Structure formats: C-alpha cells, structure tokens
Homo-oligomer: A and B are copies of this chain.
Amino acid sequence: MTKNFYHEILAEDKDTNARAGILHTPHGTINTPTFMPVGTQATVKTLDQENLRQTNSQIILGNAYHLYLRPGHKLIDRAGGLHNFMNWQQPILTDSGGFQVFSLKDLNSVEEEGVTFRSHLDGSTHLFSPETVMEIEHDIGADIIMAFDECTPFPCEYQYAKQSMEMTLRWATRCKRQHEILNEKRIHRSPQALFGIVQGSIFPDLRIHCANNLASMDFPGYAIGGLAVGEPRDNMMEIIAETTPHMPAKKPRYLMGVGLPHDMVEAVGLGIDMFDCVVPTRNARNGTAFTKHGRLRLKNAVHSEDNQPIDENCRCKTCQTYSRSYLRHLFQTGEYLALHLTSFHNIFFYNQIMHEARDAIIAGDFKCWQNQFLTSYKDR
C-alpha cells in the first residue's frame, strides 16, 4: 500500500455497482465519487484557489505535458512542488501527458522507447517515455500520478488497438519501476500514488486483458483511458460496464476525461469513483451553464431580461447573487466576469451531482436518485 494512500469504501449500492468512499491522500481526504476540475496549467481557468474550495472541489487535476513546457517541472520542484507553487494544499492528480502528446499534429514518432513530439508552443523536439514522464510527475509532486500510456484515437483498428494496449502494459511496468526508483531518491517529499491506465479502444476483450494485467501489478488505483475520444456514447458505456468488474474492487476507479452530467451519473452506477473533464469550464466560457434540466445557453436573447438566476435551487455564489440577464450582458460585452461566474456555477454543479450521488449511495437509494436525475436531465 502506498503510504498515506488508500480508498476506504463506506457503502456499496445493492442495485448497481456504485460505491461511496473516502480516498485518503497525503494532502487530505476526498469523498468519492468525486469530480476533479481540470487545472491544466496550474490553474482551473477563471477560478482562484479560494473559489475551488467555495465550489466544494476536493481535488484538482494538473497536466504533465503543459507544466513540463511552462513553467517547467524543475522550476515547480524548486518551488517545493505544485501544491506550493500554486498554493493549493489539497489533493492534486497529474495526467501523464499521454493524451496531449498523442493529440499533437506534429507527433514525430511512437516507438517502444517513447514518443518524440514537437512542442505546440515553439516547435522544439521532446521525448516522453515512461521514465521521463515519471521524473516530470515526481518533480510536480501531485498526490496521484498517472502512468504514461498510448491513448488510441477513435476509430482504431483492432490490431493497432491490441499492439498499442500491449505496449501500454509494458510502459506501465516501466513506469512502476521508475516510480519505485524515484521514491527511494525522494523520500524527503510527500509520497505519491501511481495509477495504471486501462486502454484497448472499444474492444471489450482488449480492455479486460489490460485491466487484468494491470490488476496483477498491484497499483494503488486504476483508470480507464481512451474513452470520450469520439466514439458513440453507447460504446463508451458498454466498455465501462465491461471493464470495471476487472478493476480491483478495493482500489479507486477513475474514468478519464468524462464527462457530461448524465455520463457521470450513469458511470457512477457502473462503479466509477473519479472523473475529470474540461466541459464545465470550457463550456462555461462559451456561455453554457449546466443545470439539473440540461444546458442553459446564457447568450440567448430569451435571457436578456430574465431576472432569475441560472438555477433557483443552486446555492452557489453565482446563483445566489446574479441574474441570467446580468450574465447575458456580461457575455454580450465580452467581460471576463461572465467566464468566471459561469465556470464557478458549473464546477459547483458538477461537485453537487457527485455529492448527491454519494449521499444516495450511502442512504441506499442510488437507483432511485439516478433515475430521477436522468429523467430530469436533457442533454441538448
């Protein structure tokens, strides 16, 4: 067991695979299921660290690729790690950068050793390998760090997906080995938990093979990667349902890059404990607020004199203080405050969904709560 890191499961739903728990980390506990706001570049866009607490955010996500480029992992290490650099003393998870480097257009080559790519900032050439990524993630110093994996695109041929998944497994072994070497060298720093990532595109047999092999390597947590990359929603849900039974029940399960509110609510029922997604912040900046009834497009003319808040039942700062009419005006005039207030609401709302799901699991009526949520929420 990684020091100071374990998942305490408090309740398991009788009707579904949902569970409620407490994830213990060196920077505090996280009630699960949980949503992790995305703070790519050491900031969750438009929110300060006090706002993160005000939105009930328990853990945030940083990105190894972006932080490696700016301000640089060595600078972050010299500042005492990302917690100190950004002064967020609660849990942090870093993504390995796999998703980012495989998304780059100037990806040079993928080989057994690693990935050579060009920076999106200045075109300079870099190598990410399991070993270099572990060094970067250790320097950043998050509580949870992700293994370096190949994130396959959609669609993806079966043979490519199989070979890629097998390489991801070999990379997971190398990540674990390097992580252990670095742990020895860096005993003065806060311990970190390395999660393995299940790949295999939309092929259940590949996913199951990958999950079983990772399970045998005894990681403190496991993620499902390579979903929400363009595949139909039914495929995504099928893969989650097929994969989670092969992910160790006592360890936290993290569904990467998902998702929309109804996706998360469905996935909790399939046994997922952790989520991250840029949707609540990115869509906020485009003028979309999320509510229990679906999306609210604040720029629409219908809101020009609408004195209601985004959601009259929401207890967030934005809904307690400002009208849709005012928010629409801020979007119309291109004011920064529009982005902040809508991001604040969306993150609060995402955390609220997880909070309600957790309460329902503990109360033993998750299925009922889930049905109500999915009936009310129309994603259009």
Chain B residues with Cβ under 8 A from A49's Cβ? 321
Cα-based distance from A326 to B336 in the complex (angstroms): 20
Cα-based distance from A86 to B335 in the complex (angstroms): 13
Cα-based distance from A235 to B293 in the complex (angstroms): 61
| A20 CB to nearest chain B CB (Å) | 32
Interface residues on A, range: 35 or more
Q: Identify which of B66, B85, B304 contacts A75 (C-beta below 8 A).
A: B304
10 extra A-B contacts, CB within 8 A, seeds A43-B335, A71-B325, A85-B329 = A41-B335, A42-B330, A45-B336, A48-B337, A48-B340, A50-B317, A70-B332, A71-B329, A79-B307, A87-B321
Instruction: Indicate if the CB atoms of B305 and A78 lie closer than 8 Å.
Output: yes
Instruction: Indicate if the CB atoms of B322 and A87 lie closer than 8 Å.
Output: yes
Cα-based distance from A280 to B47 in the complex (angstroms): 21
Assuming the contacts A307-B79, A336-B339, asked whether A329 and B50 have C-beta atoms less than 8 A apart, the reply is: no
Q: How many copies of this chain does one complex carry? A: 2
Bitwise, A69-93 to B at CB < 8 A (1) or not (0) is: 0110001001100000111000000
Instruction: Indicate if the CB atoms of A70 and B329 lie closer than 8 Å.
Output: yes
Q: Does A17 contact B (CB under 8 A)?
A: no
| A34 CB to nearest chain B CB (Å) | 23
Q: Does A341 contact B (CB under 8 A)?
A: yes
Instruction: Indicate if the CB atoms of B71 and A304 lie closer than 8 Å.
Output: yes
Cα-based distance from A142 to B94 in the complex (angstroms): 48
| A339 CB to nearest chain B CB (Å) | 6
CB closest chain-B residue, reference A45 = B336
Q: Does A4 contact B (CB under 8 A)?
A: no
Select the residue from A66, A329, A340 with max chain B CB neighbours within 10 A. Answer: A329
Instruction: Indicate if the CB atoms of B42 and A329 lie closer than 8 Å.
Output: yes
Instruction: Indicate if the CB atoms of B46 and A336 lie closer than 8 Å.
Output: yes
Chain B residues with Cβ under 8 A from A41's Cβ? 329-330, 333, 335
CB closest chain-B residue, reference A334 = B41
Instruction: Indicate if the CB atoms of A87 and B48 lie closer than 8 Å.
Output: no
Bitwise, A266-307 to B at CB < 8 A (1) or not (0) is: 000000000000000000000000000000000000001101
Cα-based distance from A78 to B322 in the complex (angstroms): 16
Chain B residues with Cβ under 8 A from A335's Cβ? 41, 43, 45
Sample of 10 A–B contacts (CB below 8 Å): A42-B330, A45-B335, A48-B317, A48-B340, A75-B304, A75-B305, A85-B323, A87-B321, A87-B326, A336-B340
Instruction: Indicate if the CB atoms of A305 and B79 lie closer than 8 Å.
Output: yes
| A247 CB to nearest chain B CB (Å) | 34
Chain B residues with Cβ under 8 A from A321's Cβ? 48-50, 87
Cα-based distance from A46 to B41 in the complex (angstroms): 19
CB closest chain-B residue, reference A335 = B43
Cα-based distance from A66 to B335 in the complex (angstroms): 13
Cα-based distance from A87 to B322 in the complex (angstroms): 7
Chain B residues with Cβ under 8 A from A47's Cβ? 337
